Amino acid sequence: MLHTVFRRLLERYGPQHWWPGETPFEVMVGAVLTQNTAWTNVERAIQNLKANDALAPAAIMAARHEDLAAWLRPSGYFNVKAARVRNFCAWYLQRGGLAALAGEPTTALRNELLAVKGIGPETADDILLYAFERPVFVIDAYTRRLFSRLGQVSGDEPYEALRARFERELRGTDAERVTLYNEYHALIVRHAKESCRRRPLCQACPLADSCSAADSWHQDNHAGHGAANL
């Protein structure tokens, strides 16, 4: 089923070329900032960092909290996110940066990320997959929504249980899984924004023939048409 969903989404939307970011560090910062906000807001915050020559861990650590928070304001919760980005940068510098961290085993690196205050499982896995190119599947609210509507999950499983299931069923070499997981997560996000919304738009969904939400949507619309014709 997971492979079928991937194939249909890829046929509909094509490759997504994720993650949007020019460097691994920009990807990492974006992963922290995208918590609880739209990506367009993150882009504005990152542009502020670039405009102030502050999109680097040492520059972020050297900035005053007030300045950093002001630059991050478009991403929302800017005081909290300024502290989280600073926490991440302190760890990143203390550990020797990208070159040193790239040699860490995935499980050890994931545990270190999760120990950074403000970094949860989804953010850690975004960083692992898109910045470090590790075969880790990212579970987010869109994934839960889509696959619960498809009857594949209940939607309230623990994060680690869902991640383990996706990784267990989507196998291959590490390089193959990195490519697959990268594209799959991006396609889920695209589909959630275009069709599988909180109030779904089912008429053009490539997965409608196997989705309970689409069944309900069609029943409601047929009922509405019938009532209108009375």
**Per-residue b/e over 193-220, b at no fewer than 16 CB within 10 Å?**
eebbeeebebeebbbbeebebbeebeee
Residue 220, pLDDT above cutoff 70 = no
Residue 204: the pLDDT is 83
**Looking at residues 110-124, what average pLDDT do you find?**
98
Contact 33, 42 (CB under 8 A): yes
pLDDT digits (tens, 9 = 90+) for 170-193: 999 999 999 999 999 999 999 999
Q: What is the pTM assigned to this prediction?
A: 0.91
Residue 227: the pLDDT is 42
Residue 121: the pLDDT is 98
Residue 228, pLDDT above cutoff 50 = no
Residue 223: the pLDDT is 52
Class of domain 24-130: mainly alpha
How confident is the prediction for the chain on average, in pLDDT?
93
Domain boundaries, the chain: 24-130
**Looking at residues 108-137, what average pLDDT do you find?**
98
Residue 226: the pLDDT is 44
